[in-house]
Amino acid sequence: MARKRMAGNDLSEEQALLEVLMQSAGDRPLAALLETRRQENRRQHERIAMRRQAQAARLAARRATTAPADAWLAWFDGSARPNPGRMGMGAILQAPDGRTIQLGVTGGHGDSSQAEYLALHAVLDAAVQHGVSRLVVHGDSRVVIDDVLAANGRTAAALSASRQHALQLMARIGSVTLTWIPRHRNVAADRLSQHASRHSGTQSAPRLP
């Protein structure tokens, strides 16, 4: 607006800005308007600082959850076509040296939460078979992860048997960390589960040496 006044009235930038401020002030003193503007600027800077602080906190949290060097890593995903429908489970187990085993298992009829639990069971069982003692598991199902981690006993009744089986497998491993990740970071396991839900049979990579 100040630039328009400069162009139309042959005013300097300072004069044009002063006119705009005086017009905005109306019946209020110009000093009061300037103080209001300064307060708005301070609040804006505070909001920016808070956003940056929150971003730094999220980054620190991600770094804090970095898996130990000797930990095995796992990813799981379950799908149902339609939902409920034919289930497919996908999972990946990765050794500390980078070697991986991939699991693609076709299940029976069920919903997506049942499929997610079966995928978790599959990767936990694979970890037990390989003698894993420290495992960090990633999945994109909040339903299953929150159900397993429920500390107040408020779990889904329909999934209680699946939860108990998962806890039993985790106890056999020892140290297990369950971590939620967004779906776009779980692409490989998702691809395995989608493939399994469309094809019959069970496919898996050979056992790690």
Q: Rounded to whole angstroms, what are the CA distances from 166 to 69, 115, 191?
A: 24, 13, 23
| Residue 52 shares a structural domain with residue 81 | no
Which residues contact residue 29 at a Cβ distance below 8 angstroms, ignoring those fewer than 6 apart? none
74 — pLDDT class (breaks 50, 70, 90): very high
CA-based Rg of the chain, rounded to a whole angstrom? 28
Which of helix, strand or coil describes residue 60? helix
103 and 18 within one domain: no
Does 101 score more than 80 pLDDT? yes
Q: Is residue 209 part of a domain?
A: no
Instruction: Taking residues 68-93, report their average pLDDT.
Output: 94
Looking up tokens 């693609």, which residue turns up?
A: 104
Shared domain check, 184 and 86: yes
Domain stop point among 64, 86, 114:
64
- Do the domain assignments include residue 16? yes
Has residue 2 got a pLDDT over 50?
no
Q: Output the average pLDDT for the chain.
A: 81
| pLDDT of the residue at 64 | 47
Domain tally, the chain: 2
Q: Taking residues 62-74, what's their average pLDDT?
A: 77
Residues 80, 115 within the same domain: yes
The pLDDT of 39-51, averaged and rounded, is 78
Is residue 149 in a domain?
yes
Residue written as token pair 């130990």: 68
Which range marks the domain in which residue 56 is found? 2-64
Kindly state whether residues 90 and 181 are assigned to the same domain. yes
How do residues 83-94 score in pLDDT, each as one tens digit?
Answer: 999 999 999 999
